[in-house]
Amino acid sequence: MTEAHPLDRLFARIAGRVGGDPERSYTAKLLAAGPPKCAKKLGEEAVEVALAGVAESDERLAEESADLLYHLCVLWAARGLKPDQVYAALAAREARSGLDEKKSRKGGAS
């Protein structure tokens, strides 16, 4: 039996908080606030990762990256999206170059 990936374990813990008591769990509180609040927190964390990437230690970047992944999983759970759906989207892109993939999106490459 193979052990689940850390991201899958994190998502499972977060998904287990759906409908939980917001007074007892920060995750349940975020989820209860809905996708807009979860998306806002994700955006804030993304900025913190970007800033850490240019101005802080590797340790700090790793910590901020962990926060970003946590908030990404919270948003997935808030929307009912499963990690396997994201993994499938990644797998579909493996055979394409990044430039071709970007061109195929609405609005083209940026």
Give the DSSP letter string of 52-100.
HHHHS-HHHHHHHHHHHHHHHHHHHHHHT--HHHHHHHHHHHTTS-HHH
The predicted-structure confidence for 10-26, as pLDDT tens digits, reads as follows 999 999 999 999 999 99
Please give the backbone phi and psi of residue 17, each rounded to the nearest 5 degrees, phi first: -95, -10
Q: Nearest CA to 76 among 36, 35, 107, 40?
A: 35
Measure the CA–CA gap between 57 and 15, rounded to whole angstroms. Answer: 31
Confidence of residue 107 (pLDDT cuts 50, 70, 90): low
The predicted-structure confidence for 69-89, as pLDDT tens digits, reads as follows 999 999 999 999 999 999 999
- Tell me which DSSP letter residue 105 carries: S
Tell whether domain 6-79 is in CATH 2.20.25.650.
no
Domain locations along the chain: 6-79, 83-110
